[in-house]
Amino acid sequence: MEQLSELQIHFYNEYEASVQISTSTQGQERQFSEILLFSSLALRQLRCLGSAPTAVALARILGAVGNEISHLLLYMSIEELAVYVPFVGALGVDISRLFSFAPALHGALSALGGDVDRLVRELQPNLAHLVDYRGVGEKQFIAHLTWENERALLQLKPKGFGIFGRGTNYYVPMSVILLLRYLFDANQGSAGYLAKLTRAANLCAGVYLQGKVSSTSLLTVPAAIALEAVNPEHPAA
C-alpha cells in the first residue's frame, strides 16, 4: 500500500481556514494524486451529508465549476440563496455580480437604496477564505490518502465537532470548497491542470446527483474520476 498524500484543513473560526497538502509525488503523478485527493474528499463529504440541502448545493456548485456559477442562483428564493451564497463566495465568485442574476436579492438591495457596494461590504467579511497556517484550528479535517490495486482509500478524521456534530452542515461542504479554492489558487499558471481539476469537480457532482455515492463506490469511483480527469480517454465509472 502506497501513501500518496496527507491533507490538513484547519478552521480557526467560521470564516478563516488553512489548507496544507503533503505528498511524495512529483510532476504528473502529483497532479493525479492531488486530483484524486480532491475527488476522494468531495465524494466522502457528500456521502457524509447525504441528502441535506448543503449536499445538493455543494454538488450543484461543483457541477457548475468551469461555467457561469452565478447562473445557479437565477430564480432562487432568498432561503435557497442563504444556503448557496456562503459556498459560492468562498470559491471566489464576485459577490457584486450576484445581483445581476438573482432577482430575490433585489429586495435586499432596494432596502439599502440600491447601494451594491455597501451590501457587498456587509457580506464580504462573512465569507470563508484561506489564510496562512497558524497552528491547530478549532475544527479540523485530517486525511491520509493511500493507493493499492487501483483503489484509493481516504482515512478522514474530523475533529472539534463534538458528539452531536455541531456545524457539520457548514464545515463539511466548506472543506471541499476551500480545498478546491486552494488547488485553483496554487495552480493558476497551469491551464492544463485547472482543466483537469474542473473536470474532476464536474464528475463528482454527476456521480452524487445520479445517486452513485455509497460506502462501496468510495473505494473505486474517486480513482475512476481522477483517471478520467487526467486522461479523458479513460471513462469514469
User: What is the model's pTM?
Assistant: 0.90
- The pLDDT value recorded for residue 147 is 83
Task: Give me the amino acid identity at 219.
Answer: L
Task: Residue 50: name the closest of 215, 232, 227 by CA.
Answer: 215
pLDDT tens digits, 110-134:
655 656 566 666 666 678 999 999 9
Tell me how far CA of residue 24 lies from CA of 4, 5, 29, 171, in angstroms.
7, 7, 9, 28
Q: Are 12 and 137 in contact (CB under 8 A)?
A: yes
pLDDT digits (tens, 9 = 90+) for 165-188: 789 999 999 999 999 999 999 999
Average pLDDT over residues 222-236: 81
Neighbouring C-alpha atoms within 13 Å toward the C-beta of 227: 13
d(CA 64, CA 70): 9
User: What pLDDT does 68 receive?
Assistant: 79
Please tell me the distance from the alpha carbon of residue 151 to that of residue 27, in angstroms, as a whole number: 21
Report the alpha-carbon distance of residue 168 to residue 166 in Å, rounded.
6
Give the start-to-end residue ranges of the domains of the chain.
2-71+130-230
Residue 234 has pLDDT above 80, yes or no: no
Q: Are 231 and 196 in contact (CB under 8 A)?
A: no
Confidence at residue 105, expressed as pLDDT on a 0 to 100 scale: 67
